[in-house]
Amino acid sequence: MHIHILGICGTFMGGIALLARSAGHRVTGCDANVYPPMSTQLEEQGIELVSGYDAGQVALAPDLFVVGNAISRGNPMLEAILERNLAYVSGPQWLAQSILRGRWVLGVAGTHGKTTTTSLLTWILDYAGLNPGFLVGGVPQGFGVSARLTDSPFFVIEADEYDTAFCDKRSKFVHYQPRTAILNNLEFDHADIFADLASIETQFHHLLRTLPRNGLIVANAAEAALERVLARGCWTPVEWFNGETGWQAGEPDAVGGFEVSLAGRMQGRVEQFALPGAHNRANAIAALVAARHAGVPVEVGLKALAGFQGVKRRLETRGEVRGVAVVDDFAHHPTAIRVTIEGLRQRVGRARILAVLEPRSNTMKLGTMKSQLPASLADADATYCYAANLGWDAAEALAPLGAKARCFDDLAGLVQAVCADARAGDQILVMSNGGFGGVHEKLLTELAT
């Protein structure tokens, strides 16, 4: 079958492309915004990309169009598909029908930490010899791809609450029907599609309605929103983490190692752990408990965690010049920005952190959470905000940070300012959920001059 994917360079749809290719289909696709690591991944797999959404692509005559949720009415390709009554389906629906049916699906949901936790869970299952298939919204180190298809009954998926497609406004994760579900956390996000936190809680409630009685929910006891979701109806056993009576992670040692306990009783120890921050230890605990449900003994999971190498674009060091490191992270929500800085602080101690921020997500562009930004950036030694194309005044929003924050409408000016301020030992932390105009390489080049 020939499948043509609209919006193929998104992390989710790019993963769909890899799975479809592995399943034996001919895969082509189109997108308007192409940047690594997804574009590189697709090219390496020999998947043909078409730039833009010109309606003439219908002449490719695929058997099926798979439509990503970034595609909206008015898109020339989508309008041509509808006008000609051509066969199409959303990405989550294709995935559910073509890949997930009949498998033991382990889904990772939550506002933050989905990609890291999905990668951790996949790593543990793989270490245990279960050879899972997976679809992650990033590229886990050690695997080199964001998705793979195997003959294993286990499939790990990042279960996103964002809407499914132009024609299906339910959250993606309601299609996946997991047996094991991690509920990492729950905050307000995606202000472009959700009116408030309560509406997101309703989608999580819909997810719980799809879980079987022989499944397992691994839930964060520190999240009041998740308690409300479970109180609305739960038909599946629950194991809690981050609570006094549930699973907990101890404080880290010099190499990141930590103890794991259940109801106050030690269950074992992770001898070393590459990911800094309490949030990442919590992610590891959630993955450990979910893997246990799939049959992986705790002691095996602990050994696996010690060898985890991380995920691209999650505190990933992109290079170092003259003693100044450039670190990349996907953080864009204020909570994610705060815990990312906290995690880097744990790693680098008293070294200066120069935070370079692009408020690029739909929620941030709307200015819904601009008032939370100063507190989330407080632990950075300096902040440089790229404020082009925002509908709100970034300088005014960051004014509580005083001279520690500067805003720029020109990317070249931002790069020059950061590099002029940087000195040996500094960590330049770049945070964006997009390509950020290739700012990482621009910073490294400017530092070298």
Average pLDDT over residues 62-68: 97
For domain 316-448, give its CATH number from 3.40.50.300, 3.90.190.20, 3.40.250.10, 3.40.605.10: 3.90.190.20
pLDDT level of residue 34 (50, 70, 90 thresholds): low
Q: Given CA atoms 177, 241, 276, 332 in this order, what sign does their dihedral have?
A: positive
Phi then psi for residue 155, to 5 deg, are -140, 125
Q: Assess whether the previous peptide bond of 76 is cis (omega < 30° from 0).
A: no
In the prediction, which pLDDT does 36 show?
Answer: 66
Q: What is the dihedral of CA 423, 425, 431, 436, to 10 degrees?
A: 50
The whole-number average pLDDT for the span 410-414 is: 95
Provide the pLDDT for residue 401.
Answer: 95
Average of per-residue pLDDT across 103-125: 94
Comparing 179 with 33, the larger pLDDT belongs to: 179
Given a cut of 90, is residue 386 above it in pLDDT? Answer: yes
The most distant pair of C-alpha atoms in the chain lies apart, rounded to whole Å, by 64
Say what the pLDDT of residue 362 is.
73
Range(s) of the chain covered by CATH 3.40.50.720 = 2-91
Q: Where along the chain do the CATH 3.40.1190.10 domains lie?
A: 102-306
Q: In the predicted model, is pLDDT for residue 137 greater than 80?
A: yes
Q: What confidence tens digit (pLDDT) does each residue in 295-353 have?
A: 999 999 999 999 998 777 778 899 999 999 999 988 888 888 998 998 899 889 999 99
* Structure tokens belonging to residue 24: 């034996």
Instruction: Evaluate if residue 429 carries a pLDDT over 70.
Output: yes
Q: Say if CB 268 and CB 220 are below 8 A apart.
A: no
Give mean pLDDT, residues 360-366.
Answer: 76
CA–CA dist 38, 114 (Å, integer): 18
Residue with tokens 């805003």: 407
CATH of domain 2-91: 3.40.50.720
Q: What is the pLDDT of residue 139?
A: 82
pLDDT digits (tens, 9 = 90+) for 227-262: 999 999 999 999 999 988 899 999 999 898 999 999
pLDDT digits (tens, 9 = 90+) for 167-182: 999 999 999 999 999 9
pLDDT band for 35, please (50, 70, 90 cuts): low
pLDDT at 295: 97
Local confidence band at 185 (pLDDT 50, 70, 90 cut-offs): confident
Distance of CA 307 to the CA centre of its chain: 21
Backbone angles phi, psi at 30, to 5 degrees: -140, 155
Q: What is the CATH number of domain 102-306?
A: 3.40.1190.10
Kindly report the backbone phi and psi dihedral angles of residue 396, in degrees, each rounded to the nearest multiple of 5, phi listed first. -65, -40
Encoding tokens for residue 16?
A: 């769909």
- b/e map 280-302, b = 16+ CB within 10 Å: bbbbbbbbbbbbbbbebebebbb
Mean pLDDT of 21-45: 83
pLDDT over 70 (residue 37):
no
Whether 425 has a pLDDT exceeding 90, the answer reads yes
pLDDT, the chain, mean:
92
Position 274 confidence tier, pLDDT thresholds 50, 70, 90: confident
